[in-house]
Amino acid sequence: MSITLAPYACSDHQSRGRRHPEPKPTNRSEYQRDRDRIIHSVAFRRLEYKTQVFVNHEGDLYRTRLTHSIEVAQIARSIARALQLNEDLTEAIALAHDLGHTPFGHAGQDALNECMTEYGGFEHNLQSLRVVDELEERYAEFQGLNLTFESREGILKHCSVPHARALGELGQRFIDKTMPGLEAQLTNLADEIAYNSHDVDDGLRSGLIEIGQLESVALFNEPYQEVIRAYPDLKSRRTIHEVVRRIINLQVSDLIETSRNLLQQHNPQNVEEIRRAGRNLIAFSEGMREQHLELKRFLREKLYRHYRVHRMTSKASSIIRSLFEVFMNDPRLLHPEDADRAAIMRAENGPTGQARAIADYIAGMTDRYAIREYQRIFNPIELT
Ligand code: MG
Q: How far is the CA of 97 from the centre of ligand 1 (A)?
A: 6
- Amino acid 384: pLDDT: 61
Q: How far is the CA of 83 from the centre of ligand 1 (A)?
A: 22
- Amino acid 333: pLDDT: 95
Q: How confident is the model at residue 58 (pLDDT cuts 50, 70, 90)?
A: low
Q: How confident is the model at residue 383 (pLDDT cuts 50, 70, 90)?
A: low
Per-residue pLDDT averaged across 29-35, rounded?
98
- Measure the CA–CA gap between 178 and 89, rounded to whole angstroms: 20
- pLDDT tens-digit map of 218-265: 999 999 999 999 999 999 999 999 999 999 999 999 999 999 999 999
- Amino acid 206: pLDDT: 87
Q: How far is the CA of 305 from the centre of ligand 1 (A)?
A: 19
Q: How far is the CA of 124 from the centre of ligand 1 (A)?
A: 10
What residues are neighbours of ligand 1 (ion), with CB under 5 Å? 98, 191
Q: How far is the CA of 180 from the centre of ligand 1 (A)?
A: 18
Q: How far is the CA of 339 from the centre of ligand 1 (A)?
A: 31
Q: How far is the CA of 68 from the centre of ligand 1 (A)?
A: 7
Q: Among candidates 186, 200, 322, which has minimal Cα distance to 263? A: 186
- Measure the CA–CA gap between 191 and 76, rounded to whole angstroms: 8
CA angle, corner 325, sides to 320 and 330, nearest 5?
130
- Amino acid 311: pLDDT: 86
Q: Which residues of 85-104 are buried (b: 16+ CB within 10 A; e: fewer)?
A: bbbbbbbbbbbbbbbbbbbb
Q: How confident is the model at residue 32 (pLDDT cuts 50, 70, 90)?
A: very high
Q: How far is the CA of 192 from the centre of ligand 1 (A)?
A: 7
Return the C-alpha torsion angle 22, 26, 28, 31, nearest 10.
10
- pLDDT tens-digit map of 106-117: 889 999 999 999
Per-residue pLDDT averaged across 88-105, rounded?
96
- Measure the CA–CA gap between 342 and 335, rounded to whole angstroms: 10
Q: How far is the CA of 380 from the centre of ligand 1 (A)?
A: 37
Contact partners, residue 191, CB within 8 Å, separation at least 6: 72, 76, 94, 97
Whether the pLDDT of residue 192 is over 60: the answer is yes
Q: How far is the CA of 189 from the centre of ligand 1 (A)?
A: 10
Neighbours of 380 (CB within 10 A): 4
% pLDDT > 70, the chain: 96
Q: How far is the CA of 186 from the centre of ligand 1 (A)?
A: 13
Q: How far is the CA of 46 from the centre of ligand 1 (A)?
A: 15
Per-residue pLDDT averaged across 365-383, rounded?
89
Q: How far is the CA of 129 from the centre of ligand 1 (A)?
A: 14
Q: How far is the CA of 26 from the centre of ligand 1 (A)?
A: 31
Q: How far is the CA of 69 from the centre of ligand 1 (A)?
A: 6
Q: How far is the CA of 347 from the centre of ligand 1 (A)?
A: 35
- Amino acid 381: pLDDT: 81
Sorted by where each starts, the structural domains of the chain and their CATH numbers stand as 28-308 (1.10.3210.10), 325-378 (no CATH)
Residues in the chain: 384
- Amino acid 63: pLDDT: 81
Q: How far is the CA of 340 from the centre of ligand 1 (A)?
A: 32
Q: How far is the CA of 170 from the centre of ligand 1 (A)?
A: 21
Q: How far is the CA of 63 from the centre of ligand 1 (A)?
A: 11
- Which pTM was predicted? 0.95
Q: How far is the CA of 274 from the centre of ligand 1 (A)?
A: 24
Per-residue pLDDT averaged across 273-300, rounded?
96
Q: How many CA atoms lie within 13 A of 219 on its CB side?
A: 26
Q: Among candidates 67, 47, 76, 24, which has minimal Cα distance to 181? A: 76
Whether the pLDDT of residue 33 is over 80: the answer is yes
Q: How confident is the model at residue 56 (pLDDT cuts 50, 70, 90)?
A: low
